[in-house]
Structure 1
């Protein structure tokens, strides 16, 4: 298992277009459809990051990298069932986790939201109480803590929005666990604080989740990708 964190920055146009020429055509078309420049960069760098990781870990040339999606839309690497990955991004950060078993990762920038109404509607009673019993601004932080844990679980399951947020409960104690009723799998969770103003969580079917984070420099990634791919 490895967890990667990358902080995005602007990309000059010629490098942006050159990177796009070295990814899947359908992905490239999606990237160019984004109106917001930051959305374009996040989508492109996320694709470059996972392709670069695959090249290093599996020694696959760029042209041999082919992604498929399950019926819920979760991508996986064709022909490599033991290479599992998941990507998330929010504001300035892109995060990626790889594992030999299903894995989910989620990162969220902490922004002012009507969290109490959301928690009442989509969280369990114990999750709501975990948030509501905190003082002041800590409530907003706890809301995002629960949110990222729940999202990481959904992404690990690989069933997307078919799993309602209120259909399972995250128990936040010393050892975080999930109660989902019918799911008999045992999931492991870990929370990460990569920077003030962000919450990040990882969920895995492995018994342990690494505490180490691999920091990736965007410019170095781009130069390496363009030279190898």
Structure 2
């Protein structure tokens, strides 16, 4: 995937948090040492080993995605974060990206703009379908759901379908707020996704929406293999980028980063 900034395209990268690989020999320490010291220290502050694995995979994917798409060498990549903690690429290259971490996968959405005037913020979210597994879980989220979403959820007699819709609504709201970089300041209940269908067959479903006075494109995918939903949100504004997906193994990422 040596794309080197193919214009007006969204790249959706996913990386399996492969505990078997990380627990073999000294693979964890070897891959950890591929990162800058500051990132290594942050990861090692997590007491739970599974959290360390997920944070490591997320940071590795972040460097890998930027280098692979832009052609930048690792020592030239500089990340910073805005006031709300949303990371961005400090040295430009017409790239916007966002990260999300699930239980067993991390994902990265990256948008390569044709020029600086057409750069658009992007947000991505992943949710494991088991995170919402009962009617009680759904009811706990009612304060975050739009009135029309609640009506739809309450009309469903199949609990499995209701769970999937609740996960769908939640991940779409998360990707929107992450696109804005607004975090909890976004009133999630104001966002109505009741018209968005459940994605099927492991394919990316795309739809245009008008949200709070702006046109957006949302992309949704259900991964049956990982039992999760992934959503991406980007301002459209006369752009209609296609999505290129790539599932990567951590061994591939570590091999690449060692030589770049």
Q: Is the CA contact (8 Å cut-off) linking 1:86 and 1:104 kept in structure 2?
A: yes
Q: CA deviation at 1:23?
A: 1.7
**Residue 177 of structure 1, CA deviation:** 2.5
Aligned to 2:229: 199
> 1:169 is paired with a residue of what secondary structure?
coil
- CA 1:64–1:204 in structure 2 vs 1: closer, same or farther (change >3 Å)? same
Go from structure 1 to structure 2 and tell me whether the alpha carbon gap of 1:133 and 1:176 turns closer, same or farther (over 3 Å shift). farther
Asked if the contact 1:189/1:209 (under 8 Å) is kept, the reply is no
1:18 Cα deviation from its structure 2 partner: 2.5
Is 1:9 aligned to residue 18 of structure 2? yes
Aligned residues: 225
> Does the Cα contact within 8 Å between 1:4 and 1:213 map onto a contact in 2?
yes
Name the structure 2 match of 1:210: 242
Q: C-alpha displacement at 1:223, in angstroms?
A: 1.7
Give the corresponding residue for 2:151: 129
Q: Is the 8 A contact 2:34 2:257 kept in 1?
A: no
Distance 2:28 2:250 in 1: 12
TM-score (norm 1): 0.89
Matches for 1:40-119 after TM superposition, within 5 Å: 40-80=52-92, 82-99=94-111, 100=113, 101-111=120-130, 112-113=133-134, 114-119=136-141
Deviation at 1:178, TM superposition (A): 4.9
1:211: Cα distance to partner?
A: 4.5
Q: Please state whether the residue corresponding to 2:255 is helix, strand or coil.
A: helix
CA contact (8 A) 1:171 1:178 kept: no
Q: 11-20 or 72-81: which moved more?
A: 11-20
Task: Please report the TM-score for the alignment, with normalisation by the length of structure 2.
Answer: 0.79
Shift of 1:93: 1.0
| Residue 185 of structure 1: aligned partner | 214
Distance in 2 (CA, whole Å) between partners of 1:187 and 1:222 is 35
Question: Could you tell me whether the CA contact under 8 Å between 2:14 and 2:108 is conserved in 1?
Answer: yes
Which blocks of at least 5 consecutive residues in structure 1 are unaligned? none
